[in-house]
Amino acid sequence: MSIDKNRLIMELDEYRRTINREKINPTLTKVNISTLAPVVNICAKARADYIECLMSISNEDTGEGCNPEKIEKLRQHRIAYEELVSAANALETVIKRGYVDVN
């Protein structure tokens, strides 16, 4: 990569950092363990619900196949869990990249 390309990439990274901080930082209060604890708790609860639903289905299995309603409920738990984890990961990235103030 030429120096001009490297310089452009460096400038793009800095611009991205600046814009993300300008857009994201005003939307959040300073983050700390107290503000992040509810995020961790809701993700853990969603995981527990998902696994509990799976275990419930497996414990009730009669060998005749899975009940479609129960599978739909399991799917809904998975969607909720995956969505929450994805959002929590996005929040972690925002913190790591310095887009928000940390208290």
Tell me the one-letter amino acid at 41. Answer: N
Asked, for residue 64, whether it belongs to a domain, the answer is yes
Residue 59 lies in domain: 3-96
Q: Give the pTM.
A: 0.83
What mean pLDDT do residues 96-102 have? 95
Question: What whole-number percentage of the chain has pLDDT above 90?
Answer: 84
Asked, for residue 102, whether it belongs to a domain, the answer is no
Q: Is the pLDDT of residue 24 over 90?
A: yes
Asked, for residue 73, whether it belongs to a domain, the answer is yes
Can you tell me the distance from the alpha carbon of 22 to that of 17, in angstroms, rounded to the nearest whole number? 9
Tell me the one-letter amino acid at 93. Answer: T
Full 3-state SS string of 12-72: HHHHHHHHHHHHHHHHCCCECHHHHHHHHHHHHHHHHHHHHHHHHHHHHCCCCCCCHHHHH
Can you tell me the distance from the alpha carbon of 64 to that of 28, in angstroms, rounded to the nearest whole number? 50
Asked, for residue 72, whether it belongs to a domain, the answer is yes
Asked, for residue 101, whether it belongs to a domain, the answer is no
**How confident is the model over 48-89, as pLDDT tens digits?**
999 999 999 988 877 777 788 999 999 999 999 999 999 999
Asked, for residue 10, whether it belongs to a domain, the answer is yes
Predicted local distance difference test score (pLDDT) of residue 1? 60
DSSP code of 1?
-
Split into its structural domains, the chain has a count of 1
Asked, for residue 103, whether it belongs to a domain, the answer is no
Predicted local distance difference test score (pLDDT) of residue 3? 77
**Contact by Cβ (8 Å): 80, 44:** no
